[in-house]
Amino acid sequence: MSATVFHAEVGVSDEKQAAAKSARRRFGALVVRLGAIAAFAAIMAYFVIFAPGFTSTFNLINVVEQSAILGVLAYGMTAVIIGGGSNVTEGGIDLSIAANMGLCAAVYATLLSMGYGDFLSVIAAIAVGMAVGALNAVAVVGLGILPLLATLAVLNVAAGMELTLTQNTVVGASSPLLGLLVSGSFLGISALAWALIVFSAIMIVVVHGTSFGLRLYAVGGHPEAARAAGISVPFYVSFTYVLSGFCAAVASILTVSRLSASTPGSGELLLSVLAAALLGTVFSRRFVPTMGGTLLSVLFIGLLANGFQLLNVSSYWVNGVQGALILLVVAITSFARGSEGSR
Amino acid sequence: MQTAKRDIAVSMTGISKRFGPVRALENANLEIARGSILGLVGQNGAGKSTIIKVLAGIIKPDSGSIVINGEAVTSLTPASVEKLGVHFIHQDRLLVPTATVGEAVFLGHEIGLGPFVSRRVMERRAADLLKRFFGMELPAGTLVKDLTTAQQKVVQITRALAQKASVLVLDEPTAALVKREVDSLFDVLRRLRDDGIAVVFISHYMQEIEKLCDRVTVMRNGTDVGTVDPRQTPIDEIIAMMIARDVGEMFPKRSVELGAPVLEVSNLRLGGSFENIGFNIRAGEIVGLTGLLGSGAKEIVQCLFGLKTADGGEVKVEGRELSLSTPVKAVRDGIAMLPEDRRAHGVALGLSVRENISLASLRRYSRSGMVSRGAENQAVDGLIKELSIKTPHRDALVRELSGGNQQKVAIAKWLSCQSRVYVLDEPTVAVDVGAKVEIYNLLNRLAGEGAAILLLSSDLLELVGVCDRVLVVYRGRLAGSFSGPAMNSDALLAASSGARSNIDGVAA
């Protein structure tokens, strides 16, 4: 029976090791999560104490409004990262999302200025956004190009088309819908803030409450397992890119309303969008991007920019801080996930 | 015939499948009856996995027919097979690491209202199933990545059970389980059988087959060679069915005087893979190493290569102790290695035959940093001729050669460094018979020149034919050492499947 004895011995030590390993990993993950939350809290506390007017209702509502555009874009990015997996090099990412928003804004503002009504212009902007998303999907899913490269290429396509359309000028726009978004309010909350609230609610319910969302996580977490469970991986991945394009179009309408125009330079938002989507993972016990985590990160980034303004720190610093945050989050999550790969 | 009355769930007839020149299945048949447990056994490469993948809809067969629950099915896909109630527990744990147990069990068949899911219900149901079938209690919401290997296996089986499987195929399900878990798995499978489910149990462990299965189908060389009752058929007889008897004159004979020990390995261990491995190989000796998938034999060789770092132990070459942490050091220390995946580690496909051969020994042809092309060409041409490598010229790209010739280039690379120790990992896999014989001749020649050779192989006939001695690894330990008349494929297979052991014969 010596054979059976080996069986048990090797197995037991393996089990113990695995248990110890997973306990260590859980502890490490907890430390990272609590550390991140503590750092956020410390920064907020600093602003509360030292930034004049930081806690005023007016200021906070202002931050939420400012965050609406970033939030809508970050949800698109988050969906792409969920469905493509959060592997930094091969996973899902949509670098074209901000440029796509710029293109949609240009289409929307140009059509409005040419006299087409809100209805047609909005439809056209959304169609263009989703078409750019579909182009990403074709490149990533159809042609099998790394998302990092594919969406980088599409970024340039979208940016080029925007420049062609606007000749790099500001295209002024006004319409009933834009007027409503700018000055409308309900229950004392402005239309822009409502846009963020409603969009957030929809995203959170769809991604975290439905079987669709569960399968999306499975597709990103372990495509083989998803396939074995009868889930069409290409469909889900393609969907995220098209959704991301849709988010870009919705954000474009919000941005046109805020600036009463389509303006060049929307691409600069990309860094913030990426920071928000990646930062959100530290709020998740599974270290995956979540819609709730993204919302918190969006508000954090908004408050950070706002606090810097109130403290009279140059807004250029915000970019640097965001870049550093991305590096930090990617480094920490890669480290925390490290042991998974070797199993 | 009792068979005629049996309630057949799945019947596969005349299945053939080729992968390029390799014949994976040739007119193979498999019949799975309801309310019984069918064992499926065969050596590595006998076609077990292939026929199961055909049933799973992963591989399309070239010919043959499949009938599931009385219905002839033509084109199977993984999804359509599951709809027919046939579920597979694959060897690799196909679970999403970031999902909770509840999510993993019901993925693809979520519980909820319309498009909405109820994680609480899924987690509770999953916990109920785990408790009912396995007596296992997991905190609700545990993540898959925090489970042990065994727990993940159990979750996978629960997945199939949750979907009311009528046929359950388990591929080596016990490989990662401890004894207690194996026993409880067997209880579960028996209970499922009594409920009328057809169970297919693929295992290398003969004891498990004997203990669990009602019938066992034996596969060899891509076809089924018989189906027997394991309780009435001695294990030895089943093993005999697994091994072909027609051994040709493939293995050249030789006689060499053995010299002093060249490679000495003692107390080598790697957590989770193997422990307490010790053996010596003398000058001129060819020693075989074998074991089933997951036994640790492969990892031992990988540690010698430096592809994996052993947790402890000692490796000496000609009395000098080595630190084997990287392949570079292994090369410098005089160990020549021939990895199994020659595309990944053995040869550079994009380089020429000449460059590949002289890669490991450039220093020998160099003078003050410059490669002496003349000396290099001479050595390379000599080796091409000696090994009869079929290449148009020495500057042809290795990519353009056949598999066997690529393998010979990989060997030539090491010949040119004149190592004292050769470690080869499955050197004849996917190589045609002619090239095999040439490789065997080469091994003999190297041994004749006083090299010590360790040959990892799962081809038992090859081991018996080529080696002076064969070491068998079973579940992470040396389970036997065979030489002379005791070294025959029956004994090797018996030892590697744990049916028999020969521990006294292990050289310390």
Strands of A88-202, DSSP E: 171-172, 185-186, 189-190
Residues of B in contact with A281 (CB under 8 A): none
Residue (of A306, A308, A310, A319) closest to A269 by Cα position: A319
Percent of chain A as helix, strand, coil, to the nearest 5: 80, 5, 15
Q: Splitting chain B (508 residues) into consecutive groups of 10 residues, what average pLDDT does each group show? A: 62 85 81 90 77 85 88 82 84 78 84 81 86 76 79 81 85 74 82 87 81 88 85 79 59 72 85 85 89 83 79 81 64 70 65 78 61 75 78 80 76 73 80 70 82 86 85 87 82 79 49
pLDDT for A13:
46
Residue (of B64, B75, B195) closest to B133 by Cα position: B195
| Rounded CA separation B197/B201 (Å) | 13
Is residue A34 over pLDDT 90? no
CB spacing of A22 vs B146 below 8 angstroms: yes
Which range among A10-24, A197-211, B203-217 has the greatest average pLDDT?
A197-211
pLDDT for B328:
55
pLDDT for A128:
94
pLDDT for B248:
47
Window 250-309 of B, Cβ < 8 Å to A: 271-272, 275
Of A11, A19, A228, the CB nearest to B177: A11
Q: What is the pTM of this model?
A: 0.68
Predicted confidence band of residue A336 (pLDDT cuts 50, 70, 90): low
Helix (H) or strand (E) holding B371: strand B370-371
Q: Is B110 on the interface with A (CB under 8 A)?
A: yes
3-class DSSP assignment, residue B199: strand
Query: B14: which DSSP letter?
Result: E
pLDDT for B100:
87
Residues of A in contact with B147 (CB under 8 A): 22
Other beta carbons less than 10 A from residue B289's beta carbon: 26
Is residue A190 over pLDDT 90? no
Burial class (CB in 10 A: 0-12, 13-18, 19+), B188: buried
Cβ neighbours of residue A115 closer than 8 Å, sequence gap 6 or more: none
Q: Which residue of A has its CA nearest to B111?
A: A211
Query: What are A138-175's pLDDT values in tens digits?
Result: 999 888 888 989 999 999 999 999 888 888 888 878 78
| Rounded CA separation B353/B384 (Å) | 9
pLDDT for B44:
64
Mean pLDDT, to the nearest integer, of A312-332? Answer: 78
pLDDT for A73:
94
Sequence length of chain B is 508
CB spacing of B96 vs A218 below 8 angstroms: yes
Interface pTM, i.e. ipTM: 0.75
CB spacing of B271 vs A288 below 8 angstroms: no
Residue labelled with tokens 């001749």: B441
* Cross-strand pairs, B39: B201, B216
Q: Is A25 on the interface with B (CB under 8 A)?
A: yes
Are A96 and A136 within 8 A, CB to CB?
A: yes
Is residue A340 over pLDDT 60? no
Mean pLDDT, to the nearest integer, of A47-71? Answer: 85
Cβ neighbours of residue A317 closer than 8 Å, sequence gap 6 or more: A308
Exposure string (b/e) for A154-192, b if CB count within 10 Å is 16 or more?
bbebbbebbeebbeeeebebebebbeebeeeeeeeebbb
The CATH architecture to which A23-341 belongs is Orthogonal Bundle (1.10)
CB spacing of B477 vs A226 below 8 angstroms: no
CA atoms within 13 A on the CB side of A59: 17
pLDDT for B4:
43
Mean pLDDT across chain A, nearest whole number?
82
Is residue A262 over pLDDT 60? yes
Window 198-217 of B, Cβ < 8 Å to A: 207
Residues of B in contact with A15 (CB under 8 A): 148-150, 178
Residue (of A291, A268, A267, A289) closest to A278 by Cα position: A289
Q: What are the φ/ψ torsions at residue B112 (nearest 5 degrees)?
A: 165, -165
| Rounded CA separation B147/B155 (Å) | 9
CB spacing of A211 vs B147 below 8 angstroms: no
Is residue A342 over pLDDT 50? no
3-class DSSP assignment, residue B7: coil
Query: What are A74-92's pLDDT values in tens digits?
Result: 999 999 999 888 777 788 8
Is residue A290 over pLDDT 60? yes
Domains of chain B in sequence order:
3-242 (3.40.50.300), 261-505 (3.40.50.300)
pLDDT for A337:
59
